[in-house]
Amino acid sequence: MVTLVFLFLIRHNSSVVYTPQRLDWSVTVRDLPVDLNLFSVFLNPKGEVTFSCAAPNTLQIAVEGCGIKRLSPAKVMVQGPAQPGHYRGEVSLLDRPGKMQLNVFVLTPFDGKQEQVGGYRLGKYPDKPLKNLDIYKPPKGFFMLTPEQENIPISPHFTLGQFICKQSSGYPKAVMVREALLLKLESLLERANQKGYHCTTLTVMSGFRTPHYNRSIGNVAYSRHQWGGAADVYIDVAPRDGNMDDLNGDGKIDQADAQILADLVEQLERERACTIGGLGLYSANSSHGPFVHVDVRGFRARWNK
């Protein structure tokens, strides 16, 4: 028992330096409250996204290549350029400390009928949305990622490259990440650190998946991974070996460790600290260690495998 306790302390010591990277103010983007000092939005060419803050604050936004339209002191609309690509900007509040670094990813449009975009194989999205829900309609576009863009931080503790599909292909690669998923993963990471599971990011075993890749691994037709709204994650710090850490300190790497992360997700959803969604608990097999599936579908779903 003494040995197990010692191993637990070694695995979860505070030498891993994590800071939440949050501001003391927030903006609302697509009905999502955002207080991170780095954030990303995805929109189609000439697409629009509105940022707002609590009155009587004055919102200030500047983004390279983008149009800016002030709707009120506390509300600003950003219009993306016609050319797909990555555009950097900054959000701040007048007379308030701190700034939010902003990424605007302008997508390559997708009509939902083709099985490729920009030469990248997608496969076929389902003909009918699940339960006629809009979130299951084909995406309207994808960001075409080059090798140089894999390390772009899209939130304080996650990079764009963590979410690319695992299918074999050259570049550019199509990728999509829902803003709500970024917020949920950041909240989960913060809660894990608060509970003593020190880590600076979560390992994303699977992020975005094309329908082609999703089908090739035998996953369900309406997997939220295909819409950039899901991630399979685990903590991998001590040792960094491609597997879940022994979070409960019992000397084993098993589903009980994944359950700890799942419990944290449940806490966050009960507190309405993130978007409600699916939560799947997975045990180890010959291909992977234990992990949890997290998504932001907007309604509750639970499963255990």
Domain membership flag for residue 26 = no
Domain membership flag for residue 27 = no
Domain membership flag for residue 67 = no
CB distance 257 to 224 below 8 Å = no
Which pLDDT belongs to residue 240? 93
pLDDT tens per residue, range 190-240: 999 999 999 999 999 999 999 999 999 999 999 999 999 999 999 999 999
Give me the number of domains the chain comprises.
Answer: 1
Structure tokens that stand for 218 in this block: 């035998």
Domain membership flag for residue 17 = yes
Largest separation between any pair of C-alpha atoms in the chain? 63
Domain membership flag for residue 145 = yes
Domain membership flag for residue 11 = yes
Closest to 67 measured CA to CA, from 82, 53, 57, 52: 82
pLDDT tens per residue, range 119-167: 999 999 999 999 999 999 999 999 999 999 999 999 999 999 999 999 9
- Measured in residues, the chain has a length of 305
pLDDT tens per residue, range 10-27: 445 557 899 999 999 999
- Sort 285 into a burial class: Cβ within 10 Å, 0-12 / 13-18 / 19+: exposed
Q: What are phi and psi of 146, to 5 degrees?
A: -100, 165
CB distance 292 to 234 below 8 Å = yes
Q: What is the CATH number of the domain that holds 135?
A: 3.30.1380.10
Question: 258 is in which domain, residue-wise?
Answer: 2-21+108-304
Domain membership flag for residue 28 = no
Structure tokens that stand for 12 in this block: 């979860």
- Starting from the edge strand earliest in sequence, which strands make up the sheet with 100-106, in order? 38-43, 100-106, 85-93, 59-63
Domain membership flag for residue 72 = no
Closest to 259 measured CA to CA, from 296, 290, 297, 214: 290
Q: What is the DSSP letter of 12?
A: T
The pTM of the full predicted model, rounded to 2 decimals, is 0.94
Question: Does residue 5 surpass a pLDDT of 60?
Answer: no
pLDDT over 90, % of the chain: 93
Average pLDDT across the chain, whole number:
95
